[in-house]
Amino acid sequence: MKTSRTCLGATKITFEFRAGFAVFGFAIVVLTLMPFPLNGAQYYTNWAAAHFSDIPAQSGPLADPDGDGEPNVVEFAFGTDPRVGGGIAGAVQPLYGGVNGTNAVFQVEILEREGHQPGVQIDLYLSARLTNWTNWFRPWWLRTTTNSLPSDPAGSVRELFTTRLPGTNIWFVRPKVQLFEGGAETANYYVATNGSDATTNSGTSINAPFATLGKAAGLATNGNLVYVRGGVYPTSSKISFTKISVAGQPIRIRAYPGETPVLDFSAEAGGTDGIAISGNYYWLYGLVFTNAGHNSIAITGTNNIIERCVSLGARNTGFHIGGGSSATSKAASNLFLNCDSIRNYDPAGNGGDADGFAAKWSIGTGNVFSGCRAWENSDDGWDLWMGTSGVLITNCWAFRNGTNILGLVPFKGNGNGFKLGGNNVGAAHTLVCSLSFHNMGTNGCNGIDQNNNTLGQTVDQNTSWGNLKANFSLKHGANTTPHVVRNNVSFAGGSSDAFTSGTLSTNNSWDVVSPTVNTDDFLTVDESFAVAPRRDDGGLPETPFSRPVPGGRLVDKGVKVGIPSYPFYGSAPDLGNFETPMW
């Protein structure tokens, strides 16, 4: 099966188009790690308005007014003229590919003539033959900026894409462009640091915004859009989102395109949440929360989405789902997508309560964490303590949790990567395609921990390594149902992994790889890659970190899991959270 692994999670509708292909050539260019300079680049709607003011009917992303086979969205991404034929010829250039061996370097350079445009994701697909259109696949790519050439236009950007694959002497490359944000819409309300909450101001104009998010949140209703402009917003009290919206008409609270709003709750009293969402169908996007008195976001409502948001330095858990132990309402069907939760800590509890993400106590079904990272939080990366319904965690990373960043004495941070329950409450959680490493602390310190959950957990396709104690600690009392543990990788833990009697352990590294897995089985374990910038579309960074060596001992050693099975390359899934691409 030739497709990339896509574990359980959420998807969004976008425009995408695959442009024409280029074929292999030779050269090597020096690398410089991203992020990109934007060089005054613009969003698609602004670009289209500039190019098609006289023929607006031709301004759509998939229109091709010059008839060169490249739609506008591709010409936008590569900075070519959409009204002059020629397409993106010369913009995608294969540079280097290995002919022999299982672990060869492949490099492709692209030229973005008007700079790195925001709101689009450029990906490169490869094939070793052109017999049909089903052979194309997208490997992981380490993207770096490289030196411009004297002939390049002013403001242009060159990117170098590098990956590792089995060697081949013939290969082809073609780009795919995805437009995920076209630019600013007309919002119902605006918030800016120079705004006013005066009763005479309606906040409905970008030129006369509100000063606080709380003011806009109190007025927004079904289907409304609130834009929050960039800058720092000192906030001393909790902001409550209480409206009950409906499916298809979320209340959207979004960062203005290209800007980063930071809500700083430093002046807030300890024990007070930054954002409290008791309502339904809110969608928060692109916001940063710092120094909240308790949780950065606490959700007790349902059907809410938190996307591309960051919690930094909250005085308890960064992002939290669920009510108290006696709560009557149950937070359900909430999604945290592509969020980061970093260095949250609780001085009042000596570091024993501040997790990156949590779904605790009285919770309903359908809560999901996808594409998220939690690092250097004082307690756990994820904590599902006493959660009453199953939670899905997919494609998430937890590392260096249990870090005593304040030098608290005594320090009580548990330091588990993924804590899957607690206090003998039964809930069948699912952890898939995730990564846990170098978690520490004083009590726990495990990569993946059952923590007295009385039901069996599903733990598939994960990599857990180098944690202070066990990488897998799934032996807490007697389960009423067995754990299902498949296609996982464990190595270099501080103590032995443990599983309850009856665990269905299938095709894990300890089952099928001998001698035990070590760092030589991966392209690199340089953990600086784990905090690299995200993809343009918000996805986790693509780097060689923690990826199996092509053709190595972890490749094709797994068993098909899931209904339908998670996609994979080759004859069987690889072990661990990453799938190794192949021709």
Residue 49 to residues 15, 56, 61, 114, 256: CA-CA distances in angstroms? 18, 8, 12, 16, 19
DSSP classification of residue 510:
H
Give the gyration radius of the chain's Cα atoms.
24
What does the buried/exposed string (b/e) look like for 382-413 if buried means 16 or more CB atoms within 10 Å of the residue's CB? bbbbbbbbbbbbbbbbbbbbbbbeeebeebbb
Give the integer Cα–Cα distance in Å for 293 and 311: 12
Sign of the alpha-carbon torsion through 368, 375, 265, 346: positive
User: CB-based contacts of 417: which residues, under 8 Å, 6+ apart?
Assistant: 380, 381, 382, 398, 399, 401, 436, 437, 439, 446, 447, 448, 449, 464, 467
Token pair for 224: 């409304």
Residue 529 to residues 525, 541, 554: CA-CA distances in angstroms? 9, 8, 21
User: Position of tokens 């049909």?
Assistant: 132
Of the candidates 215, 330, 412, 419, the residue annotated as catalytic is 419
Roughly how many angstroms between the first and final C-alpha of the chain, as a whole number? 11
Token pair for 323: 């009510």
Is the separation of the CB atoms in 574 and 551 below 8 Å?
Answer: no
Give the integer Cα–Cα distance in Å for 368 and 374: 15
**Strand 239-241 and strand 275-277: pairing?**
parallel
The kind and range of the H/E element at 121 are strand 120-127
- Is there a catalytic annotation at residue 360? no
Phi-psi region of 115 (alpha: psi -120 to 50; beta: other; left: phi over 0): left
Residue 77 backbone dihedrals phi, psi, to 5 degrees: -60, -40
Q: Can you spell out the DSSP letters for 153-218?
A: PTT-EEEEEEEEE---S--EEEEEEEE---S----SEEE-TT----TT----BTTB-BS-HHHHHH
In one letter, which amino acid is 334?
Answer: N
Closest by CA to 157, choosing from 120, 105, 104, is: 120
**Residues identified as active-site:** 419
